Amino acid sequence: MSSDFEAYEQDFGTLTADITNKIGRIPKLAGEEKTQLVLNVDKQLEEVRELLEQMDLEVREIPIQSRGMYSSRLKSYKQEMEKLEKEFVSIKNVARSEVLGRAHLLDNTEKLERSSRRLEAGYQIGGERQQIVLLVCAVKSERVGKKTP
């Protein structure tokens, strides 16, 4: 029985090392690559949870005189898992904030561009009106000039 537990320990060590590495890489990535890595870490964390459940079942099957040692090791692994999950949640929250910030920035940029286009159109209309007024004034001036002998 303890050999199964030790095999689970090796799997736990391998998985958590890989997860730790990936969590460290997440902030350095962007876009689809970041999304895929986050999904991958989520999946691996679920694998670790299942592994801890298997380890817990194994500990229950170990004779009482040896169970204490394995129980304390399992407790340590569960604490390590909690730390990993907290770190991952923190990284995900930062990533989500960055995405929301970028979306907000893009939205504001679009609004600014629309406002700029409306302003330019307004200036163009104002310039055209000014030309029309000058033309009307010139025509009236010509008419007034022709009427006086």
CATH number at residue 82: 1.20.58.400
What local confidence, expressed as pLDDT, does residue 55 receive?
Answer: 96
Question: Is residue 54 scored above 90 in pLDDT?
Answer: yes
Q: Is the pTM of this model over 0.85?
A: no
Q: Which domain holds residue 138?
A: 3-145
Residue 70 vs residue 142, higher pLDDT: 70
**Residue 41 · residue 19 · CB < 8 Å:** yes
**Residue 94 · residue 109 · CB < 8 Å:** no
Q: For residue 29, which phi and psi values (nearest 5 degrees)?
A: -100, 170
Total domain count, the chain? 1
